[in-house]
Chain A
Amino acid sequence: MAIVEIDNIVRRFGQVTAVDHVSIDITEGEYVVFLGPSGCGKTTTLRLVAGLDVPDEGEIRIDGRVVASAASKVFVPPQRRNIGLVFQTYALWPHMNVFDNIAFGLDVQKRPRREIRERVAETLTYMQLDGLGERFPHELSGGQQQRVALARMLVARPKIYLMDEPLSNLDAKLRMEMRAELQRIHRDLGCTTIYVTHDQFEAIALGSRIIVMKDGKISQDGSARDVYERPANLFVARFVGNPPINLVEGELSVEEGRPWFHGDGLKVPADVPRSRMGARVLAAFRPEDVRVLDGAGRSDDDAPVLAGTVAARMMAGSNVIMYVDLPTGRDLRVICDKDVTYGVGDHLKFVVPKESVLFYEDAEDGVLIESEGRRERRTDA
């Protein structure tokens, strides 16, 4: 059974609908990431689950108990929901030292003094904060403050962890470290976690399940793999991935008894239902799926090929990102091996493997056109 059930909730602020009929069931132990641009309603949804805000419509249940219901006006305040929350700003209390900050949740539970001391000490060690108990928050580095905020939540042993962009105030290097740390905590404790972020890398790195939100609605709800490899619509396709996914406008048509995509110099066999023939669509493929066709290499007979001139070349450590001008005026983003020797001005040919191409309806946030076989498998399940 789901431990958190979000049932058709709505939250409005004046004219703006911040959360628009959102339903999510979260099973015990799941690590769910709410991902989306700022203003998409992800933090509001989190605050509704935490009880820091009240839904205008719908119902939220935690552990089978109704904690907020717009219809029956039931509302359980945060202090009786058994949740833990890590804030973006950490919200450490400046007038308390690290020990007192962490001990607060246990003080509230009126635990005996000795137990508090032991559990805080244990948590300090677990979070690698040994010896910092007497310090005050302003005497800590950003990373240490982050650890204290996590420790403060962990020590109280809540049933659900809520995290609101906890890493966004850290520099890139620390952020990587803390991601690993968060994974370790989840592995150790296996606690249900809802994690809010606008950082797609973070979402994909951490979440076993990602819920992409836009304008208060759920845009896609799936595994990290799904969201990255099979974005449900153009919004998700564009939002996830850096450099962004390549999109080519074109048309579907039947040739030699097979459906094909034509457009902007690209011709790809398309595994889409026959009913879509003649439709305007967008072909989408990730920059890392594009391969450079060098002189020696040879493409398969029907492998789609694009030709263009390298306009920019950026070293990104483990690989190289190239922006290529196509004759149609469009640009193509390509990620290739760091050892490639091509430079700006080189005229190159590129192969786009047909299995890596997805097709979307040509509309604002057009949805993914599923292949016939896949659609059937879905309906079976």
Chain B
Amino acid sequence: MTRMDARSEVVRRERWAAPRAALRWLTTPHVALSLVLLAVLAIFVIAPIVNIVVDTFTWQSGDTRFDRSAVAGEFTLFHWTRVFAGPLTRRILVEPLLNSILTALGATAVALFIGTGLAWLLVRTDLPFKRVLAPLAFVPYIMPSYTLALAWLTLFKNQRYGAPGVFEYLTGIAIPDWFAYGPIPIMIVLGLHYFPFVYLLAANALLSVDRSLEECGEVLGASQWLVLRRITLPVILPALLSGFVLCFARVIGNFGTPYFLGAPIGFMTLPTQIFSNLGMRFNGVAYILVLILITISALAVLVNQRLIGVRRSFATITGKGFVTKQVRLGWWKVPALALIGGTMFFAAILPFGLFGIQSVMSRLGVYSVEHLTSAFWLSSGETITEGRPGVLVSPVILRALWNTLRLGIAAGAVAAVLGTLIGYASVKGRGTPLAKALEQVAFLPYLVPSLAFGTLYLALFIGGFGPIPSLYGTFALLVLACTFRNLPFAARTGHATMMQVSGEMEEAAQTLGAGWFYRMRRIIFPLVVKGMVAGFTFVFVTSVRELSLIITLVTPETMTLTAMTLRFEELLLVQFSNAITVLLIAVTLVTVFILNRLGGRFGAQRSPV
């Protein structure tokens, strides 16, 4: 080759440098993967939010009721005026908003108190039976959030709305309305449901406190209580504040509990108000309330990130924490155990037992042996069941069970795979703008309360969207909603798992000639399968017990057990809803047990925040 040839060869090669560089960037596996994932997230996370914002400014299909000239799809400020400056503003917006904030604050305070106390007792003291109590603490969180609400009704409802509850039956004391319904029971019940969330954060914070800080105080002569008050609590205070804010953000989106406990006396919160507006086809109003709910929740999360501090990486709660020197409770053990036992009993065991008993009673409010019946479980239809077959033989309910299970499995599997891929792409591209964008978009659903998220999907997919046909009424829509709502958790798990796999594992395969798909199949996936099972378990559990998220999306064909409960409760066939809840909890617990055996450790699940 002459010198000229060589030079023109170089020139020829360099002419294609730019397109080649672009192609190489695009074909880098983690880049291509990030782009694909971002496209998916754009459709299922970003588009629904944008869509609903647009919808609040346009006439919706049923709106000719308000204005004969309304043309669906045309611009209007009608909905915004109606919510913020109409004659009904007080009833539509102000009262539910205040009620929501009030109950959420109250419930969070309850959760914080129980969760922190439990964490301290289980992590830092010599309380007996810790190994049993620690996993039990998660049971309330595994159960559907409204379970406790129904249990509350079963116990404390008064004659004003149908048959009296167990308490009144046994004591003859009539329960006043304020204790049976409304804000007080809502706060208590939600607090009892969400305390495991605070417990997890507080326990991790306590475990990460350097013991020498406390020992130093003890050496200087401080008593245990002084050390707790002056050293331990201030050190974990940021974590507790964080727990408070994040718990608040979750509680405020809860639908089931305020629906069961508030609606009977007309006590509305934002979620129940959204639900009722959707029921009346006041979609524009419902969407604005959804946006308000999202804003509150997002603000809370932002406050947590900006003011209280970085998104902490919490250690897992098993193991080391139990080794450090522990506070000796002495005789305090007795009241401590009684308190914990009482809480657990009320939050976990009692509802299950109550429902079990009530589901075999032929008459509500009358608990005696002669009224025992298996009709609600096994009969093919009797007068007391209004001709409906029992839970275990009813094709409708069995189909709902099947729907529930396959919803959990499908959403769990899709979320686990997506979460793992997001974890892979973000770890591989660590520090690049693309990876950061991916992480942030995957985190977005966390800002959207469940009921709001379901409504976003309803609004977007009720008609077709781009190449996607109308998904309303399909099972796929439920799966998508459960998958993407829980994606932040799955992505966090995927990220954490991926961080533990050294990059050399993949590089070694690469130098031996393995292409990307081969590497993923033979190296990466086998190495992260444990993390995937954990992610799957988490999404499975949250999906099967989910009500707020899917309540706006289910149809008779895609009915799940949780939605079924709601229907029967509305029909006042309480025994059915109780039986179904017992069935649901049993199925969930059995599945979690099996999955735990398979290697996913639900109790040791990393905190998603």
Contacts and interface: CB of A to CB of B under 8 A. Distances in A.
A305 to B, nearest CB: 55
10 contacts: A72-B13, A73-B17, A74-B20, A79-B514, A80-B513, A89-B502, A91-B505, A91-B507, A104-B514, A153-B512
Interface string B501-532: 01011011111111100100011001100000
B436 to A, nearest CB: 16
A167 to B, nearest CB: 16
B1 to A, nearest CB: 12
A19 to B, nearest CB: 18
Contacts of B522: 104, 107
Contacts of A71: 10, 13-14, 17
Contacts of A80: 513
A81 B512 CA distance: 9
B508 A93 contact: yes
Nearest to B23: A73
A87 B503 CA distance: 11
A156 B512 CA distance: 7
Contact of A69 (B13, B510, B511, B513): B13
Nearest to A54: B24
B526 to A, nearest CB: 5
Given A74-B13, A89-B502, A91-B508, A79 B527 contact: no
Nearest to B20: A73
A309 to B, nearest CB: 47
Nearest to B504: A91
A75 interface: yes
A60 interface: no
Nearest to B509: A104
B511 A79 contact: yes
Given A73-B24, A74-B13, A79 B508 contact: no
B66 interface: no
B527 A87 contact: no
A108 interface: yes
A83 B13 contact: no
Given A71-B17, A74-B13, A78-B507, A105 B502 contact: no
Interface string B263-295: 000000000000000000000000000000000
B6 interface: no
B513 A91 contact: no
A51 B512 CA distance: 12
Given A72-B14, A74-B20, A93-B508, 17 more contacts: A50-B511, A52-B511, A71-B13, A71-B17, A72-B10, A79-B514, A80-B513, A81-B511, A83-B511, A87-B508, A91-B504, A95-B527, A104-B509, A105-B512, A108-B509, A108-B512, A108-B518
A93 B13 contact: no
Closest 7 CB pairs of A and B: A91-B504, A105-B512, A72-B13, A73-B21, A91-B508, A85-B511, A73-B20
A85 B16 contact: no
B219 interface: no
Interface string B533-544: 000000000000
B527 A93 contact: yes
B505 A108 contact: no
A94 B524 CA distance: 11
Contacts of A84: 511-512
Contact of A78 (B16, B24, B511): B511
Given A74-B13, A83-B511, A89 B504 contact: yes
The prevalent SS among residues of B at the interface is helix
Q: How large is the interface on B (under 10, 10 to 19, 20 to 34, 35 or more residues)?
A: 20 to 34
Contacts of B13: 69, 71-72, 74
B4 interface: no
Given A74-B20, A108-B513, A94 B527 contact: yes
Contacts of B18: 73
Interface string A108-137: 110000000000000000000000000000
A198 interface: no
B21 A93 contact: no
A79 B526 contact: no
A52 B510 CA distance: 9
Nearest to A71: B14
Given A71-B17, A72-B20, A79 B505 contact: no
A77 interface: yes
Nearest to A84: B511
A152 interface: yes
A74 B18 CA distance: 10
A157 B443 CA distance: 45
Contacts of A105: 512-513
Q: How large is the interface on A (under 10, 10 to 19, 20 to 34, 35 or more residues)?
A: 35 or more
Q: Which of A52, A84, A107, A108 has the most CB of B within 10 A?
A: A108
A109 B514 CA distance: 8
A112 to B, nearest CB: 17
A193 B303 CA distance: 56
Interface string A283-298: 0000000000000000
A89 B14 CA distance: 38
Contact of A95 (B10, B504, B510, B526): B526
Contact of B513 (A73, A74, A79): A79
Contacts of A91: 502, 504-505, 507-508
Nearest to B511: A85
A51 B510 CA distance: 9
Contacts of A51: 510-511
B507 A79 contact: no
A75 B25 CA distance: 11
Contacts of B510: 51-52, 77-79
A266 B111 CA distance: 82
A93 B523 contact: yes
A268 B246 CA distance: 78
Interface in A53-104: 69, 71-75, 77-85, 87, 89, 91-95, 104
B462 to A, nearest CB: 45
Nearest to A104: B512
Contact of A85 (B10, B508, B515): B508
Interface in A319-358: none
B513 to A, nearest CB: 4
A319 to B, nearest CB: 39
Contacts of A156: 512-513
Nearest to A95: B526
Interface in A6-51: 50-51
Contacts of B507: 50, 52, 78, 85, 87, 91
Contacts of A162: 511
Contacts of B523: 93
A152 B512 contact: yes
A69 B511 CA distance: 19
Contacts of B512: 79, 84, 104-105, 108, 152-153, 156
A87 B508 CA distance: 8
Nearest to B12: A72
B504 A72 contact: no
B228 to A, nearest CB: 41
Interface in B1-47: 10, 13-14, 16-18, 20-21, 24
Contacts of B515: 79
A371 B598 CA distance: 74
A123 B504 CA distance: 23
Contacts of A87: 504, 507-508
Contacts of B24: 73, 75
B41 to A, nearest CB: 27
